[in-house]
Amino acid sequence: MGPVRQLLSGVDLTEQQWRVLRVVQESGPIDPTQIADQACLLLPSLTRILQKLEEKGFIDRARDETDRRRQVVTLTATGMEVIEQNIDASLALIERTREKMGAEDYEALLDLLRKLNGLEL
Amino acid sequence: MGPVRQLLSGVDLTEQQWRVLRVVQESGPIDPTQIADQACLLLPSLTRILQKLEEKGFIDRARDETDRRRQVVTLTATGMEVIEQNIDASLALIERTREKMGAEDYEALLDLLRKLNGLEL
DNA sequence: CCAAACTACTTAACATGTTATGCTTATGCG
DNA sequence: CGCATAAGCATAACATGTTAAGTAGTTTGG
């Protein structure tokens, strides 16, 4: 993750903050529980991350009027800009890693990690 | 790591504290820089962990009289006891994970992780 | 219909990850 | 020898991981 942190340091974002932004971008309006699931974060961590992202003006949070326990997280225009400005470098970094490892090994690693993650120990 | 944390919660040790204890046990008297290397920890984290382990009475720290910048970390009798009391369950947990994943996949995962770790991005 | 159980999220407290900085002791070199 | 530099740790500051509790809103069984 070192290169990722370096990439994001220019816009004052951490790995996790970036990951959450990307999840919101790809999913559209979404509630924290689903974000946590997709970003592999526990809710207490996500709570703090969403607070930071809101302070920075990258997301908005609204109460879900159907179920008032829930929130709806949305990207702001600023948030979309930040993603646009960094997405190419981010994807390039992933691709570079994939090439350095070899595509087959890269996929094999992901599969094995998913398998380990799915295990009941 | 969930099961590991559960295993160690009985003796009030965290994963990393346990890992450091194990490194010291296997290496014998050793300095913090080498511990950090073997346990995959950064020195600031290790500093705090060693402080905790010393408070708990599981390790001793002495200045290296040859090079007074260095320390020598040693297991105490209490530290050895804690390891003896938990090592079997710890190894059993590793073995169980290995079996659940399948030995081949388990080894393949370790190899791929080592490969990724060795990569220069 | 209502109290108990549950869900979604927050807060708190402590441990660690990460980067930058500081301090002390060693080393290399002119 | 004497100083600049480097090595080995410690500290500080902030972000996250992890577990336990707390709060508000919802659902459900009697």
The helix (run of H) or strand (run of E) holding residue B8 is helix B2-9
Per the structure, the complete domain to which residue A6 belongs is given by 2-118
The identity of residue A30, as a single letter, is: I
Q: Can you give the pLDDT at residue A35? A: 98
Question: Hey, are the CB atoms on B109 and A116 less than 8 Å from each other?
Answer: yes
Q: Can you give the pLDDT at residue A121? A: 64
Each residue of A55-80: pLDDT tens digit?
999 999 999 999 999 999 999 999 99
Q: What is the CATH number of the domain that holds B47?
A: 1.10.10.10
Within 10 angstroms of residue B73's Cβ, the number of other Cβ atoms is 23
Calculate what percentage of chain A has a pLDDT beyond 70: 99
Each residue of A94-108: pLDDT tens digit?
999 999 999 999 999
Pair B105, A112: CB distance under 8 Å: yes
A52 Cβ within 7 A of any nucleic strand D atom: yes
Confidence of residue A51 (pLDDT cuts 50, 70, 90): very high
Q: Which residue has the least CA–C1' distance to nucleotide D24?
A: A69
Ranges of residues in chain B with a pLDDT under 70 are: 121
- Number of domains, chain A: 1
Q: Which nucleotides of D are covered by protein (CB under 7 A)?
A: 7-13, 15-20, 24-27
CA-closest candidate to residue B1, choices B90, B70, B63: B90
Strand C contacts (Cβ < 7 A) comprise A 1-2, 5, 31-33, 43-44, 46-48, 50-51, 61, 67, 69-71; B 14, 16-17, 41-42, 44-45, 48-49, 52, 67-69
B52 Cβ within 7 A of any nucleic strand D atom: no
